[in-house]
Amino acid sequence: MGLLGETAGRLPDRAMLDEYRSAGTKAAQQGVPLRTMVDAALREAEQLGSAAVLPALRRAVSALIEGYEDAQRLALRSEETARREFVDDLLQGRAERLAERAEHFGLRLAESYVVAVARPVTGVPDALAGTIERELIARFGSHNILIAVRAGLLVCVVPGTLAAATGEFTHHVRSRFEPGWRIGIGRAHRGPGGVVTSYREASNALDLGDRLGLRAPVLKAADLLVFPVLLRDREAIEDLVTSVLSPLLDARGGPEPLIDTLEQVFAAQGNQTAAARRLGISTRAVTYRLERVRRLTGFSPEDPTQRFTLETAILGARLLDWPNQL
């Protein structure tokens, strides 16, 4: 380094300390290991062969390390910024140099990917994303995995060939998040556009779960495909809901108890005893409510064709937030 000799046993002044910091910064930028840099300073001190140089050496090494660590922190912040920008571009489908940047973060975008999004009750610390990512990479031996925080969600991008990866991600979420978390999982799609599609499917699964009052903590887009189909023709589903369920508005106590009863009966595959248990009422009360539905609407849950119409209307009502949006 050639700087210690200039002190001649004197403590380095501010200008000299700045030179040491600059040398430490340059060493970090050039990839010189910290041990190598400090060892070079110690060898230089040994060559001077004087104990008087030790106080100057201590300050010089301290300045070197300070410059080195400052450069590392700056590089880390720059890497984190680049990573956030890449994740935003990847999930929004902005394709500028995407494949080249993806390789830097370990992704090969020619493959098919599945995206899972976890929504916590409270915020997600950025450090947690890195911890889970490292554990998934260690578990599956693949660097082709990306976990990041975006819009309050913990986003997990994994190859479609790693079938167990989303299950492992769910395990980490379950063990680290407070109760009340929920995960949406998209389907596998190929290429950069596939990542965007899977991400949107996963996010939409969370939205559908909220709108439909679904209780499951993990929602798969593949299991919810019928609902986007229903919403594509909004006018038709609105007509169905209005035509079939409007008579329930005249029921004593409003339509909600009857709608809730139909939902639970359908969820229990027509088992009224199981539906009554879920609702916390007697089986007799369930039977009475179903009869009220039949009399008011003209549709019976026991008739196969009418059951399908009723069930579709109930799903449509939840999607449209009917009757609250009347």
- pLDDT tens digits along 248-262: 998 888 999 999 999
Q: What number is the average pLDDT over the span 269-282? A: 93
Q: Are the beta carbons of 199 and 117 closer than 8 angstroms?
A: yes
Q: What number is the average pLDDT over the span 115-126? A: 88
CA-angle at 139, arms to 169 and 150, nearest 5°: 35
pLDDT given for residue 277 in this prediction: 94
Q: Are the beta carbons of 133 and 146 closer than 8 angstroms?
A: yes
Average model confidence (pLDDT) for the chain?
Answer: 83
Q: Is the pTM for the entire model greater than 0.75?
A: no
d(CA 48, CA 25): 25
pLDDT given for residue 116 in this prediction: 96
Name the DSSP letter for residue 216.
-
Which string of b and e fits 91-116 if b means at least 16 CB within 10 Å?
beeeeeebeebbeebebebeebbbbb
Q: Which residue, 110, 105, 112, is CA-closest to 89?
A: 105
Q: Where in the chain is the domain with CATH 1.10.10.2840?
A: 228-320
d(CA 123, CA 148): 13
Name the DSSP letter for residue 224.
-
Question: Confidence band (pLDDT; 50, 70, 90) for 79?
Answer: low
The two three-digit tokens of residue 214, written as one number: 């679904």
- φ, ψ for residue 217 (rounded to 5)? -75, -25
Q: Where in the chain is the domain with CATH 3.30.70.2730?
A: 99-220
d(CA 183, CA 41): 53
The residues pairing with 158 across neighbouring beta strands, listed in sequence order, are 114
d(CA 256, CA 269): 20
- Whether the pLDDT of residue 269 is over 80: the answer is yes
DSSP secondary structure letters along 142-201: -S--EEEEETTEEEEEEETT-TTHHHHHHHHHHHHSPTT-EEEE---EEHHHHHHHHHHH
pLDDT given for residue 182 in this prediction: 96
In sequence order, the 6+-apart residues with CB closer than 8 A to the CB of 10 are 56
In sequence order, the 6+-apart residues with CB closer than 8 A to the CB of 32 are none
d(CA 35, CA 282): 75
d(CA 282, CA 280): 7
The residues pairing with 113 across neighbouring beta strands, listed in sequence order, are 159, 189
The two three-digit tokens of residue 225, written as one number: 């495909």
Peptide bond into 323 cis (omega under 30): yes
CATH number of 228-320: 1.10.10.2840
CATH of the structural domain 99-220, one choice from 3.30.70.2730, 3.40.50.11540, 3.30.1490.20, 3.40.50.620: 3.30.70.2730
Query: CB under 8 Å, gap of 24 or more: what pairs does 248-256 form?
Result: 248/293, 248/296, 248/297, 249/323, 250/296, 251/292, 251/296, 255/323
- What is residue 107's three-state secondary structure? coil
d(CA 244, CA 298): 8
Maximum mean pLDDT: which of 33-47, 57-71, 205-219, 276-290 = 276-290
pLDDT tens profile 144-176:
888 888 888 999 999 998 889 999 999 999 999
pLDDT given for residue 295 in this prediction: 93
pLDDT given for residue 205 in this prediction: 94
Q: Which residue, 29, 30, 26, is CA-closest to 63?
A: 26
pLDDT tens profile 190-203:
877 888 899 999 99
